[in-house]
Structure 1
Amino acid sequence: MKLDVQGLTVSFRIPGATVRAVTDASFQVRPGRCLALVGESGCGKSVLAHALLGLLPGNAEVSGSAVLDGELDLVAAAPAVLAKKVRGRRVGLIPQSPATHLTPVRTARAQLEEASRELGSAQRADELAERFGLRAGDLDRYPHELSGGMAQRVANAIALAGDPGLLLADEPTSGLDRPLVDTSMAVLRELCDEGRAVLLITHDLRAAERVADDIAVMYASRLVEIGPAADVLNRPRHPYAAGLVDAQPDRAFTPIPGMPPELTRLPGGCAFAPRCGRASAACASVPPLRGAACHHPLWEDPRAASA
């Protein structure tokens, strides 16, 4: 299943201000591949995922397009279409904070079986659970009896119950220790290799490195770099992407100086300019995204220059 997103923009009207959560995002997620969307907390990653499924509050304003398999625009689709034909069936969501998505008075098994039944799936609860490292007995527990990691794995299994062709994984490693992170990423990679498309939203670059074919870097509501995972992680072009990589414990472990701007007070030009040692007067305008959205990239890509 292919997803083609063009110019996706999301804002929220609040008293006295407008939150610009996603600005002009364009990317593709293709069958058999994983695109990891990375960036600091609060940059708009999760809002983008929820916009694709129509799961935003009533004060959200959404524009642009997100076309599924060349036929269905998720942004323009009616709520009933998203609820009955898309969510869980064509597009599965692995939520952040899974404990809040599980009904506290029903066992994990009952919730997983209900999801399979409602989605018309023939997959058995035990088989789905086993794929994510859960034992059959774990499913007979109530949510309050599950650890954070176990709740996350139950949510992962529920997202797969309808056998969707596209998975949106919103921080699926939250609350997991490193061995379970590796296990979860291995499952996502396996799902890609079976032909599914995966959009992974994460701040964990190590997790992204394990599963992603491509990486998109988001900063202050905008995509600032997108390309093959090996290029972004080992030879980033945008200074912010380089800062994210260098902040990792297995790299330079050097934090990016300064703080990101508030999404209610985004500057008119490059939002990273106040934190960037390469900024100049040219950064008063927003650069186009040609691999990297930067007037002064760390290196020039002739492929982007000719695009």
Structure 2
Amino acid sequence: MSKRPIIIDTDPGIDDAVAIGIALFSEELDVKLMTTVAGNVSLDKVTNNLLKLLTFWGKKVPVAKGALRPLMRVKENASNVHGESGMDGYEFGAPDTSLLLKEHAVLAMRRVIMESKEKITLVPIGPLTNIALLLSMYPEVKENIEEVVLMGGSAGRGNYGVMSEFNVGFDPEAARIVFESGLKIVMAGLDVGWKALVYHEDSLKIKAQNRTGEMIYALFQKYRGGSLKTGLKMYDSCAMAYLLKKEMYETVFTHVSVETDGTATAGATLVDLKGYLKKEPNVTVCMDINQEMFSEWLLNALKKCN
């Protein structure tokens, strides 16, 4: 079976680190390129974090730096959740900077997509700034994109604003461009992220598995996306879980609009379950997840990491 070629766009981030490890060691995914975007912390910090992770795992995946900031807004980062560095809690070795391309992320994505013999799946697990720039500047890439499987959005309440999830709320204008692109889009948002949990006993099992488990366990001690008592939220792993075991999800294909004008609701994803907007469906929305299946899958996926 041939591996599925993907590009991961990310802003590591502790839950990003878990998702990235799963993707890199999956027997079903071929990570062609990784790009970074400002989000959880600054662009320089998230890029450094990604290089540290790749060096830790001994993976030679090319990395390209992308957008420094949202398209139109000035936003605060999420260092209160992930720590000042974005990956507080573990002492990594020096990063292999030879993996860093001179190309901007948008140019690197365009090149990899256009040169690929197979259609590429984009997996954004951070704000959608880079993806929006790519689709706006080089719309020809759409012909060779299989789908976009993203972590972001919510059918209900938010974790960044009252109605907005962080990745979409950080750059609503970018999200709107992506959601209205006409591409096949899967949205794994807060509705499943809030149920994709790691508890204390799970973390001990993860720690005992391998050196990756020890590293992730250390990061979990600093992660403020929930707690080990009430459950740490594995938001970004939900995108990988859809790629690798989509049967754990309940989904609905419907229209999703991104609010950009509201002063109190910018970044809200309006998941139109009842057809009020009278628009054609454009997004497959993950509405629910089998929690037991997710927990077992996560443990087994991380066991494959070295």
Same fold (TM over 0.5): no
TM-score norm. by structure 2 comes to 0.30
From the two aligned structures, give the one with the greater helix fraction. Answer: 2
Larger radius of gyration: 1
Q: What is the TM-score with the length of structure 1 in the denominator?
A: 0.30
